[in-house]
Structure 1
Amino acid sequence: MSKLNVLLKNMCPNCGGDISSERLLMVGVCESCLPEEVTGKINVIKLLEERGNLNGYKEFAKLHKDLANFSKIFLEATKRPMWNMQEVWAKRFLKNESFSIIAPTGSGKTVFGCVACIFEALKGNKAYFIVPTSLLAEQVYQKMKKFTKNIFPEDIGIVSYYSGMKDRDKKTSLERIKEGNFNILITTNRFFSSNFNLLSNFVFSLIFIDDIDSFLKTSKNVDLVLRLIGFEEEFIESALKVIGSKKEESLEGREKFKEAVFKIRNSG
């Protein structure tokens, strides 16, 4: 039985012209953009770039390159490739989306968060990893140090602060935080809400919150985290209206939080 080849009007992702379903699956762009029957996304992107014909496909090309870079760092850091779910999360992260990860224990959420923070730090940005307990803060810190050493020996500026630290180490960490002498910060929810005035001096390109249910139990954290990622007060008020009651069921509250961030990101 032969396959049905359908002509798709205005569906070429690069030029917006007509493309057959077979061509879309095999090559990805129409004959007008690329006459040859080239296979492999990297080859298609390379030829389009060489001919100055990379148009609507440009965003996809950037995502493809960023994902390849992220995958390389992930493999070097963890000594294993990403799982399928982690690839999905990576694509959303690389597209600068705010999103929640709902997955069972052991699915690699924390590992993904660690690598995402390292990825931002390597670009010279600041990343913040927030956990509910001091024990988790220490575990994430040790994991992060191990991952970075697998990539290269130099310190990329990982700072943690939690109750189980020695007083001397606490003092050193606090001084580094005050001075902004870090690229990755790891603390508990409590430190975040208690020291927001200190943290508000910095711009974070990524905030990874481990256990959002625990984080949202302190209602003011919603306001604070939105301010920390750069939203103006008027946008925060809009978000809080979307969220509504701060005593919602945890899953519903999480979804409303995600929707609020999405709405204010796409407003005005």
Structure 2
Amino acid sequence: MLLVRAIVRGQCPNCGGPISDDRLEKGLPCADCLPKPPPRLLELADRGDRLKFLEELCNELSKAGRLKGYRRILEEEEALKEFEHFFEKALGNRPWSAQRTWARRVLGGKSFTILAPTGVGKSVFGIIMALYLASRGAKCYLVLPTSVLVKQASERAEAYAEKLGAEVRILAYLAKSGKAREELLERIKSGDYDVLITTSQFLARHFELLEGSHFDFIFVDDVDAVMKSSRNIDKILVLLGLPSEAVEEAYELVKLKLKVAAALSSRRGVPPEMREELERSRERLRKRLEGLRIGTLVISTATGRPRGLRVRLFR
């Protein structure tokens, strides 16, 4: 019986070209990148040892002079294994499946929202990921809803860092007075930390101390608290490396998309000039963001998607 295979355009993980569905299923590149996979590689694919499979695959592609996208995939898988070891050393147990999924996204540079009930390890994940990235030279920021949680997160982070032997400067803003407060604010202003932990209220009131800073990773625990001041959204995006002009341009694009959606749902349809304006707006924003080093944002919530027009900027 003739077996018909689907060809999927633009989905080869290595070159971005067309690829058959059976190769995609096995995690292999397209036939142009690797015409005949060696038996050893197919055996590793069937065994499910992803890291060894990727190492062998990258070796084969490198020998053929065709190693492209899989180089990054291997680096991300190696980083994930490192993170798992880091996590286990800190807590005494391996991350569970959801935490591994979250870690894979962060290490791949993808921003996203965690929607999960209280008690599944969202906050612990944020702390450990911040420590992991900071131990490798990144600057991280944890934004929490209350001072009590800031204190708890700070104590946990210090304990984990000590257990790991990680030389990470952890700075938490807790209520102090007089000279101690002045010194703390000065440290925040000068960027004398690797991991900063504050409340969302601090972000709203003291943004001028953070302005000019660039964070590689921001973890927002309880987005509802951040949403009490919609301008906090703009501030977080700026701290991730987006110019304020780009944030405003993105906001205009959000509003334009809503107009297009409304027109689509009506009988009259979308006017050609509106479509053209949408494309121009997208292109302007794309060019403005081109070449920028933008950090990763993870938003944690237990209550569902936050409402409001400005929150769409996080997308």
Distance 1:243 1:110 in 2: 30
Greater CA deviation, 167-176 or 72-81?
A: 167-176
Q: Which has the higher relative contact order, 1 or 2, with Cα contacts under 8 A spaced 6 or more apart?
A: 2
How far is the alpha carbon of 1:17 from its aligned partner?
6.2
Report the structure number with the largest CA radius of gyration: 2
Deviations along 1:209-238, one digit per CA (max 9) or x if unpaired, are: 111011111122122212221212232113
Q: Deviation of residue 118 (structure 1)? A: 0.7
Q: Provide the C-alpha distance between the structure 1 equivalents of 2:96 and 2:3, rounded to a whole number of angstroms.
A: 33
In 2, Cα distance between equivalents of 1:38 and 1:27 = 12
2:91 partner letter: T
Name the counterpart of 2:38: 35
Mapped pair 1:235 → 2:256? no
Kept in 2: contact 1:129–1:208 (CA 8 A): yes
Q: Distance in 2 between matches of 1:112 and 1:150?
A: 16
Alignment of 1:194-209 (within 5 A): 194-209=205-220
Distance 1:81 1:132, change over 3 A: same
The code of the aligned residue for 1:162 comes to L
Note if contact 2:185-2:209 (Cα within 8 Å) is conserved in structure 1.
no
Equivalent-residue separation in structure 2 for 1:255 and 1:41 (angstroms) = 41
Residue by residue over 1:90-129, the C-alpha shift from the partner in whole angstroms, topping out at 9 and shown as x without a partner, is: 1221122221111100010100100111122112121011
Q: Secondary structure at the match of 2:142?
A: strand
Equivalent residue in structure 2 for 1:226, among 220, 231, 237:
237
* Residue in 2 that maps onto 1:189: 200
> What is the rounded CA distance, in whole Å, between the counterparts of 1:27 and 1:126 in structure 2?
33
In 1: Cα distance, 2:221 partner to 2:233 partner: 14
Alignment of 1:39-54 (within 5 A): 39=44, 40-51=49-60, 52=62, 53-54=66-67
Shifted more, 222-231 versus 179-188: the winner is 222-231
Aligned twin of 2:271: none
TM-score, normalized by length of structure 2?
0.70
Asked if 2 retains the 8 angstrom alpha-carbon contact of 1:126 and 1:205, the reply is yes
Hey, what does 2:161 align to over in structure 1?
Answer: 148
Letter in 1 for 2:246: F
Q: Could you tell me how far 1:139 is from its partner in structure 2?
A: 0.3
Q: Which moved further from structure 2: 77-86 or 174-183?
A: 174-183
Q: How many corresponding residue pairs? A: 252
Structure 1 residues 85-100: aligned runs within 5 Å: 85-100=98-113
> What SS class does the counterpart of residue 100 from structure 1 fall into?
strand
Deviation at 1:136, TM superposition (A): 0.5
Matched, 1:261 2:314: yes
Is the contact made by 2:144 and 2:200 (CA closer than 8 Å) also made in structure 1? yes
Identify the residue that residue 5 of structure 2 maps to in structure 1. 7
Q: Separation in 2 of the partners of 1:5 and 1:89?
A: 37
For the Cα contact (< 8 Å) 1:239–1:261, is it kept in 2?
A: no
Using the size of structure 1 for normalisation, the TM-score is: 0.81
Q: Secondary structure at the match of 1:159?
A: strand
The verdict on how the C-alpha distance between 1:101 and 1:24 changes in structure 2, with shifts beyond 3 A counting, is closer
State the AA in 1 paired with 2:307: G
- Within 5 Å, which residues of 2 pair with 1:55-74? 55-74=68-87
Q: Is the 8 A contact 2:134 2:194 kept in 1?
A: yes
In 2, Cα distance between equivalents of 1:124 and 1:56:
24
1:56–1:150 distance in 2 versus 1, CA, 3 Å: same
Q: SS of the counterpart of 1:130?
A: strand
When structure 1 is superposed on structure 2, of 138-147 and 228-237 the one drifting more is 228-237
Contact 1:67–1:94 (Cα < 8 Å) also in 2:
yes
Q: What does residue 158 of structure 1 align with?
A: 170
Contact conserved, 2:251 with 2:310, CA < 8 A, in 1?
Answer: no
Classify the secondary structure of the residue corresponding to 1:213.
Answer: helix
SS at match of 2:117: coil
Report the Cα offset of residue 261 of structure 1.
3.1
Aligned alpha-carbon RMSD (Å): 3.0
Give percent identity, aligned residues only: 31
Distance 1:132 1:255, change over 3 A: same
Higher mean C-alpha displacement, 104-113 vs 214-223: 214-223
Report the AA paired with residue 139 of structure 2.
K
> Unaligned stretches of 5+ in structure 1?
263-268
Q: Is the 8 A contact 1:14 1:33 kept in 2?
A: no
Secondary structure of the corresponding residue to residue 253 of structure 1: coil
Q: Report the residue type matching 2:53 in the other structure.
A: V
